Amino acid sequence: MIVKLKDVIKRYQGNRLALDYLDLEIQKGEVVGLLGPNGAGKTTAINAIVGLIDVDEGSIEVFGQKQNGSNRDVRKRIGLVTQEVTVYEDLSAYENLLFFGKLYGLRKENLNRRIQEVAKLIGLEDRLHELPKRYSGGMKRRLNIGCALLHEPELIIMDEPTVGIDPQSRNYILEFVKEIAKNTNTAIIYTSHYIEEVQLISDRVYIIDQGHIIAKGTVKELIEKIKGDQVTLIEVKHPLEESIQKIKGVSGVKEVAIDKNTYQIITEAHVNQLDKILNILASQTIVNIQNQQSNLEDVFLMLTGKTLRDSEV
């Protein structure tokens, strides 16, 4: 087992519970997606795994050793990509890689070989001698990730690595995470509040909400949970909060939420209550109605009664 968290509790000032009996396990070679809205506890969980914060209760083992924050051997085997980009803007990309490589104890041929390999992986081999301040946000992000990969860590942790970057860089990152997973035996923890990403790259997914794992399994297993349920999306011009309760009152309706201008409604299979629902929405201008196959977003909605997005702060 690469990582094992059991009943971990973390309280911040004011008794705010960031982790609430959190359990998490990651095996060698697995890509694990940690999916949850902003404030769910993803970063806190990562900081606890890496040993950057102390937790109040529970146990954390990394590479079979108890995590106590001061074990340098454990730190050296982890590649951490934090939410903030931490590259030196006044050093070239090459010099950044050189600097971080040395920090991890790489030397000479080994260091050079790794810089070339990583530069290729992150797609910056042609722009290695430019200053990152001339890069796009996405390129800086890729360089930042590259710096954490040089020492061939056995565990890579990426905290929302695609937030706020261009789609090209985003695809690049997703592709090379998949490539690392395929070609090496590295365990990867990838946090995100983008369902599509997690769905695309994870072997297993943990859904976290309010510091607690509310569901786990492969994407397929999670979707199985609501298999048979129907998901209906009704887009209106001006959705009304009060309609949610009314729709929930229709028999066969399991969960309702509003995402932007769209009511997301999960109903039991073979129950057709569309006419009743449309009656409730009679005073609202309907733009579009569609039925869709269930996805992880719907699993989240079923489990928490809210969409991933409306939990954002």
Ligand X SMILES: Nc1ncnc2c1ncn2[C@@H]1O[C@H](COP(=O)(O)OP(=O)(O)OP(=O)(O)O)[C@@H](O)[C@H]1O
Binding site for ligand X (CB under 6 A): 12-13, 16, 18, 36, 38-44, 160
Instruction: Please report how the helices 167-183 and 108-121 are oriented relative to each other, as an axis angle in degrees rounded to 10.
Output: 130
Closer residue to ligand X in complex, CB, 38/71: 38
Closer residue to ligand X in complex, CB, 47/230: 47
Closer residue to ligand X in complex, CB, 18/119: 18
Minimal distance, residue 45 CB to ligand X, in Å: 7
Minimal distance, residue 123 CB to ligand X, in Å: 26
Minimal distance, residue 313 CB to ligand X, in Å: 7
Minimal distance, residue 187 CB to ligand X, in Å: 19
Closer residue to ligand X in complex, CB, 154/160: 160
Minimal distance, residue 159 CB to ligand X, in Å: 7
Closer residue to ligand X in complex, CB, 124/157: 157
Closer residue to ligand X in complex, CB, 98/208: 208
Minimal distance, residue 206 CB to ligand X, in Å: 12
